Amino acid sequence: MRKYRVGVLGSGKGSNFVALADAAAADPTIPYEIALVLSDVAEAGILTQARNRGIAAQYLSPGPFRTRLDPPTEAACVAALQQAEVDLVALAGFMRVLKDDFLRAYLTKVINIHPSLLPSFPGLEAWKQALEHGVKFTGCTVHFVDPGVDTGPIIGQLAVPVLDDDTPETLHARIQVAEHELYPAVVRALAEGRITVRGRLTTWL
């Protein structure tokens, strides 16, 4: 039986990719597999982590823009994912905004994990934003990707308490532990067809 194929885009060390890949490798009942890893950073750790696991990994030069891929690179990214017969695109620390052509190619098939309880603290360094605002709980969110920044329909969340002696580093580390639990669970549910989306409402079956 064909497994649900996931393509992962990342720019950094790839800890969420590792969580996804290792969860699938450890449990034969999990119905997804990582088919391809793409990065906009030639020396990104995520590429090394993928190659160490025998997973196809490719660097795509991002072009001249700082916050997005240039159109030829975006088209090459879509072509590589389609050639790998990817069913879902999971962003794992991917530091560029995907534009309309990419999202049209994978309509409601791109997800991201963000280190806060959205809609609170979108954007960069959300754990620092949480500390600065003095909240008692933050966490992580998996959401569908739309043309905005961290604005797509929310799929799942896990809360993390903010401790009195937390630093940005300690809080971020605990949020990452939650991310590594939540992301594989969401991808598994998507692979099993247990999540439906209507507008901004997502439902787990």
Q: Report yes or no: 55 and 36 within 8 Å, Cβ to Cβ.
A: yes
Phi, psi of 168 (to 5 degrees): -55, -35
For CA atoms 123, 146, 70, 43, give the dihedral sign.
Answer: positive
CA distances from 165 to 134, 160, 169, 198 (A): 12, 14, 11, 41
End-to-end C-alpha distance for the chain, whole angstroms: 22
Active site residue 114: yes
Question: What residue type is 60 in one-letter code?
Answer: L
CA distances from 160 to 59, 68, 149, 180, 191 (A): 34, 30, 22, 13, 26
The residue written with tokens 């300690």 in the block is: 170
Positions marked catalytic: 114
